Chain A
Amino acid sequence: MSKKRHGIVEILLWIVVVIVVLWVISPFYWAVITSFKKPSDVFRLSSIPWIQFQPTLNNWQTEFNQRGPEITRGLLNSVTIAVGASVLAVFLGSLAGYGLARHRYTKWRNQSMSFWFLSQRFLPPAATVIPFFLLMKSLKLLDTQIALILVNTTFVMPFAVLIMRDMFKELPVELEEAAWVDGCSRWQSFVRIALPLAAPALVATVIICFAFAWNEFLFALVLTYKKASPMTVVIAGTEHTQGVQFWYVSTRLLLAIIPPTILALTVQKYIVRGLTMGAVKG
């Protein structure tokens, strides 16, 4: 009896799995097949390639022939901005994280400082977008990659601080203590012992920060016009001029979506910490 009941539970479970998987996959699937459809097939509902419609590479080719420079520039800007911001943020973040994990501060207590970094997470971007615009305008940095690197570093650094703080806390302190006894400075033990041990976490943090910076939209929209526009702005710009040309829109969408989603698959171990800034250990 119980065995039979167990079987039913198992079946129900797999039904839930199938529904959830379809629910998650279908928008991605739709974008992919739309990008391979002839315009005449897009507005007839058809979802199975080769059977319901004949896939074509036309959209991708046209996109790259006609709008190649714009898309390449968008991708390059996205990569530059996201790499610049994530590396800078993790550099600053691992320094601060190490300080908070290994050192006792007396003036500002460690916990207060951690909370202070965490509080950045609650700041709405809209609150700083106007001063940033005016600031970048007066510095003549509008429509430059530097402006967006600075902005995104500011947004993702609190993540980096708190995740790295956690990671350093979990390393055994004995190794570093032995090094201090041998005359290593804090700085040397950080560079030679702690950093190499935390390398996997460091890389994961860079990847998570990269994805967040890649996906940022509001500041990119406000601070860039053309030259420094990342992919998120490139897809936004084309929609207005091309109306419902879904077959083109979908190619650009995919180019914007694919890099961070694929990268995120490589950091599964750190994702729960990353998303909660270390509040929940996964």
Chain B
Amino acid sequence: MKKRREKGNVFVIPAIIWIFVFTIFPLVYSFRVSISRVSYGKITGLAGLSNYIRMFGDYRFWGTLRFTLIFVLISVVATTFLGLGLALVFNRKMRGLKFFRSLLTMPLFTAPVALGYLGVMMFYEENGPVNVLLKYLGMGKVPWLSHPWWATLAICMVDVWQWTPFAFIILLAGLQSISDEIYEAAIIDTSSGWAVFRYITLPLVSPVLGTVLMLRLVDAFKVFDVPFSLTSGGPGTATRTLTFYIYTQGLRNFDLGYASAMAYFLLAITMVIGMLFFRRYRELYE
């Protein structure tokens, strides 16, 4: 029996070592950098918590945090609701559903940075396809990339385009796993579609909905590629996300200590979301 156990360890140990070397060690090192004075990539002394304190007085940090939160809110809510709506509509037996679903997986696997550049073409202000379409609908020229609010919306739209299928595909799988018998039983008791949705569908699909919401939240907080390519954080610094600011401070201005401190702040946010997730959806991974 003891021999068996040793052999079992052989299977998991390589992966565990890998994560220790390439995740845990960099995180520890990063913490060390965040509490140090760094010049030219070398640690020269201790800075204590000054990098963390500096964060709270840095208006640019608050600006990026504000934009990140706005983006997270719009994009997570929009993708989840649209995805849920579509999943409810297509939760039926119909021809071509498989094909339709496959088509919708395509946005998920396009490189976000490429989508950003594609967005530059789509949202081009002079005769770009989006503005021309809006002109047909009777709207004026929209300054998509030169006005802060429109640029925010443009970034959100790219994200919604890419991630609504994510919510749709997963929620559809969740809905399809609810057995028909439950619905048949429910229809005997009530004729109200809303009641069926509220008291049958929603509770049964809620773990899946929670999973979608959490994964979307975490991914939205990490966003970098689309603002980088679509707006370069502009106009000005209006659409810089936290990751974008960390990148600029750390790897363009080489203020490594400060950037590491902000990275820890971002890590704390995603870890809190992760913990909420684990607490609620533990049983899904049994």
- Report which A residues bind B (CB closer than 8 A): 13, 16-17, 20-21, 23-28, 30-31, 34, 43-45, 47, 92-93, 95-96, 98-100, 102-106, 111, 113-135, 137, 150-151, 153-154, 157-158, 161-162, 185-187, 190, 211, 214-215, 217-218, 221-222, 231-232, 235-236, 239, 244, 246, 249-250, 253, 256-257, 260-261, 263-265, 268, 271-272, 275-276, 278-282
Contact = CB atoms under 8 A, between A and B. Distances in A.
B286 interface: yes
B106 A264 contact: yes
Contacts of B260: 130-131
Contacts of B19: 116-117, 120, 154, 157-158
B146 interface: no
B222 A124 contact: yes
A20 B33 contact: no
Contacts of B222: 124-126
Given A154-B22, A218-B243, A126 B224 contact: yes
Interface in B70-108: 86, 89, 94, 96, 98, 100-108
Contact of A222 (B96, B169, B247, B281): B247
Specify the main secondary structure of chain B where it touches its partner.
Answer: helix
B108, B122, B242, B271: most-surrounded residue (chain A CB, <10 A):
B108
Contacts of A27: 115, 118, 122, 161
Contact of B266 (A93, A127, A275): A127
B110 A261 contact: yes
A79 B177 CA distance: 37
Report, as a range, how many residues of chain B touch the other chain.
Answer: 35 or more
Contacts of B247: 126, 129, 218, 221-222
B165 A24 contact: yes
Contacts of A130: 30, 33, 246, 250-251, 256, 259-260, 263
A153 to B, nearest CB: 7
B221 interface: yes
B192 to A, nearest CB: 16
Nearest to B262: A126
Given A111-B285, A190-B11, A268-B105, 16 more contacts: A17-B96, A17-B100, A115-B278, A119-B278, A121-B274, A122-B218, A125-B222, A133-B251, A134-B256, A137-B41, A153-B18, A215-B110, A231-B111, A257-B110, A261-B106, A279-B208
Contacts of B61: none
Given A131-B29, A253-B117, A282-B173, A28 B8 contact: no
Contact of B132 (A45, A99, A231): A45
Nearest to A260: B109
